[in-house]
Amino acid sequence: MSELSPIGGDFLSLLAAHQISPICGQKSQSAPVETQATTVFAFHFRDGVLMAGDRRATAGNIIVTDHVEKIIEVDACSLLAIAGVPAMAFEMARVLQSSFEHYRRSQLQPLSLPAKVRALARLLRENLPLTMQGVGIVAPLFAGLDQAMKQPVAQIYFYDPLGAQFQAVGFAASGSGAQTIRSVLSFQERFGNPKPSEFDLREAVRFALRLLIVASEFDSATGGVNQDTNSFATLKTLDSQGVQDIDAAQQSEILMS
């Protein structure tokens, strides 16, 4: 017992101390470069939550496509934003959609927001072997309505790749362009007038598009927004009425106004 006491209850640290790996497989040097989806973010505005993502997917220095839908409507009052390996993230989204719908039909009521948040955390933990190998990393964002409250309020959660969950007070971002976006959101929330949390829908959409434009200037993996080629973001809002999609035509009109 004395040999184990410095480690305490940290099982992974115990394995590392004895040079034991919990993962049998190892990433091969000849393995193909996995596709990555970036960048996504969410913030509170006056009426609810706006969740946004660029539409670029990359593999190393290769642009795979500029037509990825990274914001997924899991059910009528939940949104999932994917960052990381799309193959794993899309599968997680499908599992959540089936799980939430099965519960709603079998129990005749929707799953609670805390249960939904934990369901995604469990999927991330089950993906631990691929995460530890660096070939299946997913770091998503989740937004959902807390329907247990008298007046349903949209909440934002972010996760680390191992499944730890955190509630975001004002905003969250993930993916390769996240650092730039978090910096701008933090500055605007502290010193802006109005603050993002005070924006109406049009102001929130315009701000989200400008965030992606700025992020794309500092990160080649972020697709940004290009009106000349009609390339816009995936934008969805979540409020007490549910999910609303902001399509390319609406984005163009708002950005030009």
Catalytic residues: 38
Handedness of CA 193, 197, 202, 208 (dihedral sign): positive
Q: Which residue has the tokens 């006491």?
A: 5
- Considering all CA atoms of the chain, what is the largest pairwise distance in Å, rounded to the nearest integer? 69
Number of alpha helices (DSSP H) and beta strands (DSSP E) in the chain: 7, 13
Residues 6+ apart with CB under 8 A from 49: 42, 43, 79, 143, 154, 155, 156, 237, 238, 239
**C-beta of residue 122 within 8 angstroms of C-beta of residue 113:** no
Backbone angles phi, psi at 98, to 5 degrees: -65, -40
Specify the DSSP element, H or E, that contains 118: helix 113-126
Residues in the chain: 257
**C-beta of residue 53 within 8 angstroms of C-beta of residue 71:** yes
Residue 39 CA to residue 221 CA, distance in Å, equals: 8
Residue 163 CA to residue 126 CA, distance in Å, equals: 9
Beta bridge partners of 144: 78, 155
